[in-house]
Amino acid sequence: MSIETKISGSCSEGFELVADEFRRNFSERGDIGAACSIVIDGQVLVDIWGGYKNQKQEEEWARDTVANIWSTSKGVTAACIAILVDRGLLAYDEKVAHYWPEFASAGKAEITLAMLLSHQAGLAGFREPTSLEDLFDQTKAASRLANMEPLWEPGSQSGYHAITMGHLLNEIVTRVTGQSLGQFARDELQAFDYSVGLPFDRSLMAAALSASPALGSADLVTELSPIQIAALANPVLDPLAPETEAWRSAEIPSANGFATARGLADLYGQLAVGGGKLMRSQTIEAATTVQISGIDAVLEVEANWSCGFLRNSLDIYGPNKRSFGHSGWGGSFAFADPDLKMGMSYVMNRMGTDLVGDPRAMCLINAAYQCVANFATS
């Protein structure tokens, strides 16, 4: 990608460094098409996009282009759960089996919603061989998980539920609302350009993903433990799976959300100011309270898990420890910084190899905080 890549949108005075790094993502870091947005205290300060919707450079990335954001979807799903908690339909300290009685089997009766959301339930993957097609069958996946013995003692550690988190939470939401999680998100988050899966009326807006032919979910770690095999390699995910009709028509709320950077930044901007119009401040406070910290058994890195959000660790979401959000395989991210009342997001179509801390993402985040620091000292 040449340095002359067309960049569109708006960037407020003082945030030019973010736009500069965004351009460098194309000229130096391999981006094909992408968007970045920053909202502070309800004001959109950065909303930029550029490049192309596919590797063939046949169509420019537009203001309303959406991309599959992989696990960045989990943060939006966590927001949906928090909305239901705020309305009294769910409670973080309630047993999952209260909403889903079949879940109590095989030693899971004491697992709470908070334990599940913070990846402590021991259901990070399936024990039996699983195909990609199996992931598209919510009813079958939920039944298998309800009958499954945990991979570890629930509550003893965290282990990233890369895909199964979506099936588990989808079932819970269906039990308490009569709607799938995807339907609930469409109704409640319509203003944020978000969908689980890709409805036909949004299909022309979608960017096509691009990845190295060698990239697959099993490449995320070099030597897989049994838990990692269950979570990341059963099945091995194709990074281009989101290009298929089967993926786009399914609902996997942990992995197949489609979004714009602007919509995600706006959503997290609401969460950053105490929940905004979405929920009460005490609810987002409960949702973002750390439930477990330590080395995650799947990711093999330090992780601070709250109720569905990744609380800031290793400064992946800037310097402020109260920041929370989620990142996705390949490079996307969205997070809130309550100290700055900021929501920020980046989505793209060229898949990198990282689950968190993608170099393109980190350069944008570091630039944003440099801009904020410059304001503070000016």
Domains in the chain: ranges and CATH: 7-377 (3.40.710.10)
Higher-pLDDT residue of 171, 200: 171
C-alpha distances (whole Å) from 252 to each of 68, 181, 247, 368 are 11, 9, 9, 31
pLDDT of residue 213: 55
Higher-pLDDT residue of 205, 66: 66
CA distance 314 to 156: 22
pLDDT at 203 over 90: no
User: Which among 220, 106, 96 has a CA at the least distance from the CA of 165?
Assistant: 96
pLDDT at 220 over 70: no
**Residue 190, class by beta-carbon neighbours within 10 Å (0-12 exposed, 13-18 middle, 19+ buried)?**
exposed
Span 251-270, pLDDT tens digits: 999 999 999 999 999 999 99
Span 199-214, average pLDDT? 80
Percent of the chain scoring above 90 in pLDDT: 89
CA distance 106 to 297: 21
pLDDT at 171 over 70: yes
Span 118-142, average pLDDT? 98
Span 99-120, pLDDT tens digits: 999 999 999 999 999 999 999 9
Q: What is the mean pLDDT of the chain?
A: 95
Span 276-299, pLDDT tens digits: 999 999 999 999 999 999 999 999
Q: Please spell the DSSP secondary structure of 67-82, one letter per residue.
A: EE-BTHHHHHHHHHHH
Span 161-180, average pLDDT? 99
CA distance 119 to 212: 29
**Amino acid (1-letter code) at residue 224:** L
Tell me if 114 sits within 8 A of 93, measured CB to CB: yes
**Residue 331, class by beta-carbon neighbours within 10 Å (0-12 exposed, 13-18 middle, 19+ buried)?**
buried
Span 124-128, average pLDDT? 98
**Paired tokens of 16:** 């030019």
pLDDT at 2 over 50: no
**Paired tokens of 190:** 């319509």
- The pLDDT-based confidence of 58 (bands split at 50, 70, 90) is confident
**Paired tokens of 42:** 């309800």
pLDDT of residue 1: 41
**Amino acid (1-letter code) at residue 121:** A
pLDDT at 33 over 70: yes
- Chain position carrying tokens 């399914």: 250
Span 237-244, average pLDDT? 93
**Paired tokens of 220:** 């995320």
Length of the chain: 378
CA distance 266 to 352: 25
Tell me if 208 sits within 8 A of 350, measured CB to CB: no
Q: Any idea of the CA torsion for 55, 56, 57, 63, to the nearest 10 degrees?
A: -50
- The pLDDT-based confidence of 216 (bands split at 50, 70, 90) is low
pLDDT at 224 over 70: yes
Q: Among 221-235, 288-302, 353-367, which is the least confidently predicted range?
A: 221-235
Residues 6+ apart with CB under 8 A from 87: none
Percent of the chain scoring above 70 in pLDDT: 96
Residue burial 1-40, b: 16+ Cβ < 10 Å; e: rest: beeebebebebbeebebbbebbbbbbeebebbbbbbbbbb
pLDDT of residue 215: 53
- The pLDDT-based confidence of 314 (bands split at 50, 70, 90) is confident
How many other C-beta atoms are found inside a 10 Å radius of the C-beta of residue 139?
10
- The pLDDT-based confidence of 192 (bands split at 50, 70, 90) is very high
Span 329-333, average pLDDT? 96
Residues 6+ apart with CB under 8 A from 285: none
Span 1-6, average pLDDT? 68
Residues 6+ apart with CB under 8 A from 24: 363
**Paired tokens of 354:** 């990282």
pLDDT of residue 364: 99
CA distance 90 to 372: 37
**Residue 120, class by beta-carbon neighbours within 10 Å (0-12 exposed, 13-18 middle, 19+ buried)?**
buried
CA distance 359 to 196: 26
pLDDT at 247 over 80: yes
pTM, two decimals, is 0.96
Q: Please spell the DSSP secondary structure of 85-144, one letter per residue.
A: HHTTS--TTSBHHHH-GGGGTTTTTT-BHHHHHTT-SS-SS-SS---HHHHT-HHHHHHH
**Paired tokens of 65:** 């282009």
pLDDT of residue 302: 95
Q: Any idea of the CA torsion for 313, 317, 318, 321, to the nearest 10 degrees?
A: -50
Span 88-107, average pLDDT? 99
pLDDT of residue 330: 95
